[in-house]
Structure 1
Amino acid sequence: MQPTHSQSLPRVLGPWIATAIIVGTVIGSGVFKKGRNVSENVPEFGLAMGVWVLGGLLALLGSLALAEVAVLFPRAGGNYVFLREGYGRMAGFLWGWVEFWIIRGASAAALATMFTDSFHDVLRQSLYPGQRVEVLTFWPRQLLTVFVLAGLATVNMRGTFLGGAVQFAITVLKVASILFIITLPFGVYALVAEPTYPPTLGHLSPMWPSGAINWSGFGVALVGVLWAYNGWMNIAPIAGEVKDPSRNIPIALLAGVFILITLYCGANVAYYLVLPRGAIVAKDAAGQLSATPLATEFCSVLLGPVGVVIASAIVMTSVLGALNGNILVGPRLLYAMGQDRLAPANFARLHARYQTPALAIAAMTSWACLLVVGVGALTHYRLPLIPLGFHDLDLNVPEGKSPFDIMTDFVIFGSATFETLAVATIFVFRQRIPVTPENRPYRCWGYPLVPALYIAIMGAVLANMFISPEQRTEAIVGMGFIGTGALVYVACFQSRKA
């Protein structure tokens, strides 16, 4: 690699690719995986759909506010820049600390793990149709996951436009795949004279709880849905590479979120029409929710063994797109922090030929690979999360919780905390920077109600994570990690000039 000190990243991304980056990085595993968690905690169809709609509305409220901030600061780094400019260098550093070590690394690791699991399903169905045979054992699957991460990192090192073009192509495929899932029950019903599993309205009952709503369960389900929508902010870190940012950033944010709400709600209605709730919340012998994605079970019921292969291919394509988007977007944070000397300065160097932050890409991908191996071993061998002392805090890995769910819950705690603070910077900048047509070509619709409502709901979600036994470990450990980051900043960076 031949690094050079380039001053800025080139603006090469138009509105189509910018929108594809949002949709492509968001649609990954959540729409196929988290429906089981939602149905387990919210048994009523109407309320379960309300969780999916609320998750989308939260993303919409946040995007309406964040678009204004992103247009003010269209630079590489996204939330890091917003928090640094709004609250100071320590706030920016803490976002970078949590985003690198937990949010982005765990997202990439979780997505890569699910890609390998789906590949394993295809392999098993091809070699042993209808049998639950483990074709690849634990360590070969970990090695394959690492190879997938390394391969996508190599693609993104070779050019931002190349990575964006790959993202656009995969996004088109994954949107088409979800539309296939949405229409499949009705296609089968129309083409088959007497389908074995026709769409059944009876599966939508009960529609609403007969008594009081279990708000704690609703909150746990919402955390799962927030993982499905996680990444709607991903236009911000690459804002410095978007053409005409004052126009294209708001377009990409709003169009992307509307597409997501439509696809997610449509797919979940299709699942419920075909699968009874007992099949959705099925558990294995260990008491863990079935690891089979809902899309796989859904297509298997309608199309038989070939449906398993089709669904696994859909999941693989979707997860691959989200994973590529994370590897494209995530390293821009290290690039921005390297420029500010809040991370190793070499992260701010661009490759002399490809003009990409290649070293930052390599660092983020390497950490994701370590998480794949570490969290996989933690759950595979049932190792304690805190082996020495502190047992009274009950911070060990819950029985029956998969590596995927552990990593995604950590992601949501970290992202919800700092992304809420990032949206709140709109109030800071409204006071600090005069509102004029020149510096505000886009202004948040519904200000101040829209950002205030987003902040209030996300605050309630975070509070519920500390209350809920299913997510308390992730919340407490996450807060401890943020505190550790504050100590690192004070020890290493407090005396440096801004």
Structure 2
Amino acid sequence: MKQDSAEPHQLHRVLGPWMATAIVIGTVIGSGVFKKAQPISQGIPQVGLALCAWVLVGFLTLMGALALAEVAIVHPKAGGNYVFLRESYGRMFGFLWGWVELWFIRAASVAALAWIFAESCSDVIDALFRVSPEPVVGILGKYAITIGVIVLLGALNARGTLLGGRIQVIITAVKVFSLVGIAVIPLILFLIGYQGEGAPKLDRLYPLFPESFSWAQLSGFGAAMVGILWAYDGWMNIAPIAGEVTNPSRNLPRAAVAGVLTLIALYVTVNLAYYLTIPVMDIVNLPKDRMTAGEYAMRIFGSVGLMLASICLMISVLGALNGNQLVGPRLLFAMGQDELVPGILCRIHPRYNTPANAGVTLSVISIVIVLAGSYIKPNGKALFDVITDFSMFGAISFGCLAVGSIFVVRKRFPVATHPLPYRCPGYPLPPVLYIVFMIGVIANMFVTQQNEAVAGVILIAVGGLIYFAIFRNKPVAVQRPA
């Protein structure tokens, strides 16, 4: 291949350690920490056990990050898990990950987050300008905001990876400070002796644990972990942009570990603040249109608190959206290089040096899911929770395969003969712990979330049929530099 024809397919390393860490934190912290306390409390009504679940999932995420960082150093290319699975298990597994990731993990996440942003934006507008019982922003207005924010962030990230990275650092800093504020407010109120409705009370934390454990309780614990996994989902997002991170052998593992440790600290302290302020059964019985963070802020600050919580949620979701639309197109870029999607998707914009065509495609698919979602009427479960639980089946399944690819890396690149700047500490314990626990969560989904699990299996099977029908006998494309 001529050198000049390869230029349109190369990305530049422009993301430093702070931007890489901000992408990990910013794409993970979205709506989960603001909304998931209710479904988690429904499955785990004991505060101590619920907090242990947040710590456990965080610990498992850290174990996965320690393992995946080594794989990313060996394959520091755009595409992330797609590249890891392709190189470790073959092209079919890479295709299946791309199929599930594009349609029902990445695009569904963008759609769900954009809708939550629109709802929060509408709440803020109503709080500021509402003068009648009718909301200022109607349903059509919410759809317009949802589609508008997807288009806006897609366009900004198409104009430059460095621009998207800088936006991510700014938004991530704001959302981290807002979550720190939520976490420390009960401590401040306790120190000043505040006695109002939102005054923190230690007795709200009891009972910490159930008196005895049953299979139903363990199953409920596993179901609640799916919601917590959504809150942590995105920790692998450093991998798809590995080809654009400076000094990847040093910055990739540092960003992954620092990001996950920050997430654990924020999630545990914020949820502790919720439980100190709101009795757990009040959280369980919250109306479906009331997020836990909103109830928390309203009990402390009154009606203005709900608006403040909505603003915090808007900022947080905006950061997650930006991170997803920065990272997501790299999958299509890598698949385009392998001719598993139209080659136009791996073309780089001649001026901005971004996979702009892939970004437009992701935005369009996300908008289609938003519009299709208006026809979904789930019974007894919020649409947001249906979408997130559904997307988590594929994310957990292929996440296990991605983390497990470290075993293939160790076989191909033994420690004794292939010195690397980073190796997973404690190997093989971290990847084994991660995979074993995640397999248990997947198995439990077939008991507690059968519709989502079965739909996930059908989706993967359809992807397999498409691969065998179209790509099985297709020659492997010549790999272009990533």
Relative to structure 1, the CA distance from residue 35 to residue 17 in structure 2 (aligned partners, 3 Å threshold; closer, same or farther) is same
Shift of 1:439: 4.9
Partner of 1:262: 265
Question: How far 1:6 sits from its partner (Å)?
Answer: 2.0
Aligned to 2:313: 315
Residue-by-residue CA offset, 1:325-365 (whole Å, 9 max, x unaligned): 00000110000000010111011100010000001000011
Counterpart selection for 2:461 from 438, 460, 483: 483
Counterpart of 1:74, as a letter, is P
The yes-or-no answer on 1:324 pairing with 2:309 is no
- Asked whether the equivalents of residues 5 and 349 of structure 1 are also in contact (C-alpha less than 8 Å), the reply is no
Task: Give 1:283 deviation, angstroms.
Answer: 4.5
**CA separation in 2, counterparts of 1:400 and 1:477?**
18
TM-superposed CA distance for 1:377, in Å, is: 2.5
Find the aligned partners of 1:409 and 1:13 in 2 and give their Cα distance. Answer: 31
Sort the Cα spacing of 1:298 and 1:42 in 2 relative to 1 into closer, same or farther, 3 A. Answer: same
What does residue 7 of structure 1 align with?
A: 9
Aligned equivalents of 1:412, 1:316: Cα separation in 2: 22
Alignment of structure 1 residues 79-228 onto 2, 5 Å: 79-128=81-130, 134-191=135-192, 194-213=195-214, 214-228=217-231
CA distance in 1, matches of 2:55, 2:355: 37
Which residue type is aligned with residue 267 of structure 2? Y
| Residue identity in the other structure for 1:419 | G
Query: TM-score, length-normalised on structure 2?
Result: 0.95
Deviation, structure 1 residue 195: 3.2
In structure 1, list runs of 5 or more residues that go unmatched: 285-289, 380-396
Shift of 1:440: 2.0
Contact (CA 8 Å) 1:4, 1:349: kept in 2 or not? no
Q: Residue 451 of structure 1 corresponds to which residue in structure 2?
A: 431
- How many equivalent residue pairs? 470
Distance 1:283 1:186 in 2: 24
The residue aligned with 2:479 is none
* Deviation readout 1:69-106 (Å, 9 max, x if unpaired): 00000000000000000000000000000000100001
Whether 1:252 and 2:255 are equivalent positions in the alignment is yes
In the alignment, which residue of structure 1 is the partner of 2:48? Answer: 46
Amino acid at match of 2:269: G
Query: C-alpha distance in 1, partners of 2:364/2:419?
Result: 39
Say which is worse superposed, 415-424 or 188-197, in terms of deviation. Answer: 188-197
**Alignment RMSD, CA only?**
1.6
> How far apart, CA to CA, are the structure 2 residues paired with 1:43 and 1:223?
16
Residue deviations 1:261-312, cap 9 Å, x none? 000000000000000123211244xxxxx23221111111001122111111
C-alpha change, 1:231 and 1:27, in structure 2 (3 Å) is: same
Cα offsets for 1:97-117 (capped at 9, x unmatched): 000010000110111111111
* In 1: Cα distance, 2:245 partner to 2:133 partner: 46
Counterpart for residue 480 of structure 2: none
* 1:133 shift after superposition: 5.0
Note the C-alpha offset of 1:27: 0.4
CA separation in 2, counterparts of 1:16 and 1:270? 28
Matched letter for residue 216 of structure 1: S
Change (3 A) 1:438 1:162: farther
CA contact (8 A) 2:110 2:324 kept: yes
**Residues 254-403 of structure 1: matches in 2 within 5 Å?**
254-284=257-287, 290-379=288-377, 397=378, 399-403=379-383
Report the TM-score, using the length of structure 1 for normalisation: 0.92
Query: What do the CA deviations read for 1:235-273 (whole angstroms, capped 9, x no partner)?
Result: 000000000000000000000000000000000000000
Distance 1:145 1:193 in 2: 39
Q: Which residue of 1 aligns with 2:471?
A: 493
Amino acid at match of 1:429: V
| 1:54 CA displacement | 1.0
Secondary structure of the residue aligned to 1:233 is helix
2:189 and 2:200 in contact (8 A); partners too? no
Distance (Å, rounded) in 1 between the aligned partners of 2:144 and 2:417:
53
Give the one of 397, 410, 413 matched to 2:390: 410
Percent identity of paired positions between Structure 1 and Structure 2: 50
Once the two structures are superposed, residues 34-67 of structure 1 have per-residue CA deviations (whole angstroms, 9 ceiling, x without a partner) of: 0111111101111100111111011101001000
Quick one: structure 1 residues 42 and 324, their matched pair in 2 at CA, closer, same or farther if it must change by over 3 Å? same
* Structure-2 residue corresponding to 1:72: 74
> Does the 8 Å CA contact 2:98/2:335 hold for their aligned counterparts?
yes
Distance 1:483 1:462 in 2: 16
Question: Structure 2 residue aligned with 1:233, among 233, 236, 239?
Answer: 236
Q: Secondary structure at the match of 1:378?
A: coil
Q: Distance in 1 between matches of 2:251 and 2:291?
A: 34
Query: Which amino acid in 2 is paired with 1:16?
Result: W
Check conservation: 2:198, 2:296, Cα contact below 8 A. Answer: no
